[in-house]
Structure 1
Amino acid sequence: MTSFLSQLKQRRVYRVAIGYAIVAWLMVQIAATVLPAFHAPEFVLPVLIVLLGVGFPVALVLAWAFDVTPSGIEKTPDGTGTSAARNMRYAWALAGLGLLIAAVGVGAYWFWHRPVTKRTATAEISNVVAEKTAAGPGVAISEKSIAVLPFENLSSDKENAYFAEGIQDEILTRLSKIAALKVISRTSTQKYKSAPDNLREVGSQLGVANILEGSVQKIANAAHINVQLIRAATDEHVWAESYNRKLDDVFSVEGEVATAIAEQLNAKLTGAEHKEITDKPTNNPVAYDAYLRGVAIEHNQYGYESYQHAVTAYAQAVQLDPKFALAWARLAVLRSFLFFNSIDRNANTPPAVLRDFEGAVTAYQEAQRRLPNNAFLLQNLAFVLRRAGRWQDAETTYNKALELDPRDVSLLSSLGGEFYGYLRRFDDARALVDRALEISPDSETAHAIKASILQNEGRL
Structure 2
Amino acid sequence: MITILAELKRRNVFRVAGLYAVVAWLIMQVAVLFEDTMNLPAWFDSTVTAALILCFPIALLLTWAFEMTPDGIKPAETADGEITHSGRKTDIVIVAGLLGVLALGLWQQMTKPDVVYKDKEGTVKSALTAPQQAAIMVEPELRTDPASIAVLPFSDLSPSGDQGYFSDGIAQELLNVLAKVDGLKVASRTSAFAFKGQDALGIPFIAEKLKARNVLQGSVRKPGDMIRITAQLIDADTDMHYLPCCRSQH
Q: Which has the higher helix share?
A: 1
Greater C-alpha radius of gyration: 1
Query: How does the TM-score come out when normalised to structure 1?
Result: 0.25
Query: How does the TM-score come out when normalised to structure 2?
Result: 0.42
Kindly indicate whether structure 1 or structure 2 has the higher relative contact order, using CA contacts under 8 Å at least 6 residues apart. Answer: 2
Q: Which has the higher strand share?
A: 2
